Amino acid sequence: MIHPSGFRPGDGRLTHELDPQDTGPQDACGVFGVWAPGEEVAKLAYFGLYALQHRGQESAGIAVSNGKQILVYKDMGLVSQVFDEATLQSLQGYLAIGHARYSTTGSSVWENAQPTFRATTHGAVALGHNGNLTNTGELGRMAAERRTRTGATDKHAMTSDTGLMTELMASYSDRSLEDAAVEVLPQLRGAFSLVFMDETTLYAARDPQGVRPLMLGRLDRGWVVASEQAALDTVGASFIREIEPGELIAVDENGLRSRHFAEPRPKGCVFEYVYLARPDATIAGRNVHAARVEMGRTLAREAPVEADLVIATPESGTPAAIGFAEESGIPFGQGFVKNAYVGRTFIQPSQTLRQLGVRLKLNALREVIEGKRLVVVDDSIVRGNTQRAVLKMLREAGATEVHLRISSPPVKWPCFYGIDFATRAELIANGLSTDEIAKSIGADSLAYITLDGMTEATHQPADRLCRACFDGVYPIELPEEELLGKHLLEIAVDPLAHTDALSRP
| Residues 393, 373: Cα–Cα separation, whole Å | 14
Beta-bridged to residue 406, according to DSSP, are 378, 448
Crossing angle for the helix pair 434-441 and 385-396, to the nearest 10 degrees: 50
* Three-class secondary structure of residue 130 per DSSP: strand
End-to-end CA distance of the chain: 37
Region class of 38: left (phi > 0), else alpha (psi between -120 and 50), else beta: left
- Given a contact cutoff of 8 angstroms between Cβ atoms, the answer to whether 16 and 345 are in contact is no
- Given a contact cutoff of 8 angstroms between Cβ atoms, the answer to whether 449 and 321 are in contact is no
| String of DSSP letters for 2-49 | --TTS---------S-SSTTS--PBP--EEEEEE-TTS-HHHHHHHHH
| Residues 58, 242: Cα–Cα separation, whole Å | 26
Residues serving a catalytic function are: 29
Q: What is the DSSP pairing of strand 362-364 with strand 336-338?
A: antiparallel
Helices (H) and strands (E) in the chain, counts: 19, 23
How many CA atoms, within 13 angstroms, populate the side-chain half-sphere of residue 31?
31
| Residues 398, 29: Cα–Cα separation, whole Å | 41
Q: Is the bond into 253 cis (omega within 30 degrees of 0)?
A: no
For residue 342, what is the DSSP state? -
Which residue, among 25, 26, 97, has the nearest Cα to 57 in the 3D structure?
A: 26
| Residues 212, 104: Cα–Cα separation, whole Å | 14
| Residues 128, 408: Cα–Cα separation, whole Å | 30
